Amino acid sequence: MMRYQQVQVDGLSVFYRAVGNQSKPVLLLLHGFPSASHYFRELMPLLAEDFYCIAPDMIGFGQSESPDRFEFTYSFESESQVIQRFLEVLGVDSYYLYVFDYGAPVGFRLALNHPEQIRGIISQNGNVYEEGLGAKWQDRIAYWANPTSEARATFSNAYAAATIKNQYLGGEKAGAISPDGYSLDIYYSQKIADYGEKQNDLILDYRTNVALYPKFQQYLRDYQPAVLAIWGKNDDSFIWAGAEAFKKDVPDATVVPIDAGHFALESHSTTIAEQIIHQFMKQ
C-alpha cells in the first residue's frame, strides 16, 4: 500500500510517498521539472516487491514546503542538501538512485558527497553530459552568460499551462498520455506562491549543474556504479546522445531507448520497471 507522509527537515516540511517492505533495498526516486513525486505514481507499485521505494517532493514542488525566496535559496545545491538531510532523518544510508530531469543534478550531487551510499543508478532522461543538451538549451546558455532581467522574463512561458502540457505530449503517440500528470503539474504551477520566480532562480542556477558535469563524469569513472540509462529517445530537451554518453565513463552501463518523449514513465512505466528489475534484481 502506498503511504503518503510529511517529515520535518531542518524546519522545512518535505512530502514523500513510499511503498514496499522496508527490509528491501531502498530506491530513492527524484523527480524533475515541472513535476513532483506523483510522476512515479505508476512505477512505484510495480517495483514494490523488490525495493522499498521513496519519492520526495523537492522544496518548491508538489506538496513540500515552498518558502519565500528570501528565506530559502532556490538552487540545486540547496535542493540536494535538503534531500541528503531527508535521507538522514529517515535513516537511509544505502540506496539505489532513480534520477529524472532536475533529479539528475540533485542525485549526482548526493553521489559526489557520499559515493559509498550509492548501490546503482537509473537515469531516465537524467542528463549529465553536454552532448545530451537539446537545441533549446542554447538560449539558456546565452542567458547564463548574460543574465539580464529582460532575458529572465523570457522564460515565463515555460510555466504556462500549454507549455507544461506540450512537454508531456511531445515525442509521444496520440492518445498515449493520460492528462493526470500534466493537469496536476499545471495545478501546482498556479497554486504555489511566486512559482515562476522560484523556477526562474533554478533555471539560472542550472548553469552550476553544467559546470559540475566533469565532476559527475569523474565520479562515474572512479566508482563504476551499475548504471541503467533508460531514455525516452524522442525527448528534445535531454536528447538521446546524453544516454549513449554514459558508456564513455561506465563501459558496462546498460543503455536502453524507449519510444517516448521526456516524460517516458507516463507511457512506459511497465517497460521501465521490467528493465530496472532485470538490471538490479534478476541478474
Give dist(CA 155, CA 74) in Å, integer.
Answer: 16
What's the rounded mean pLDDT across residues 230-251?
98
The average confidence (pLDDT) of the chain is 97
- Nine-digit cell string for 76: 540545486
- C-alpha 4 chain-centroid distance: 19
pLDDT for position 156: 86
Taking only the tens place, the pLDDT of each residue in 115-124 is: 999 999 999 9
One DSSP character per residue, 135-181 reads: TTHHHHHHHHHS--HHHHHGGGGGGSHHHHHHHHHTTS-TT-S-SHH
- Nine-digit cell string for 215: 565532476
Taking only the tens place, the pLDDT of each residue in 269-281 is: 999 999 999 999 8
Catalytic residue among 31, 38, 262, 268: 262
What's the rounded mean pLDDT across residues 191-206?
96
pLDDT band at 283 (very low <50, low <70, confident <90, very high): low
Q: Taking a C-beta distance cutoff of 8 angstroms, is the pair 208, 112 a contact?
A: no
Helix (H) or strand (E) holding 266: helix 265-280
What's the rounded mean pLDDT across residues 67-88?
98
Domains for the chain: give ranges and CATH numbers. Answer: 3-280 (3.40.50.1820)
Residue 86 has pLDDT above 60, yes or no: yes
pLDDT for position 157: 86
Give dist(CA 110, CA 263) in Å, integer.
Answer: 23
Q: Taking a C-beta distance cutoff of 8 angstroms, is the pair 123, 93 a contact?
A: no
- C-alpha 82 chain-centroid distance: 15
pLDDT for position 281: 87
The reply to whether 114 belongs to the active site is: no
Taking only the tens place, the pLDDT of each residue in 91-114 is: 999 999 999 999 999 999 999 999
- Nine-digit cell string for 30: 527524484
pTM of this prediction exceeds 0.95 = yes
Query: Is the model more confident about 154 or about 257?
Result: 257
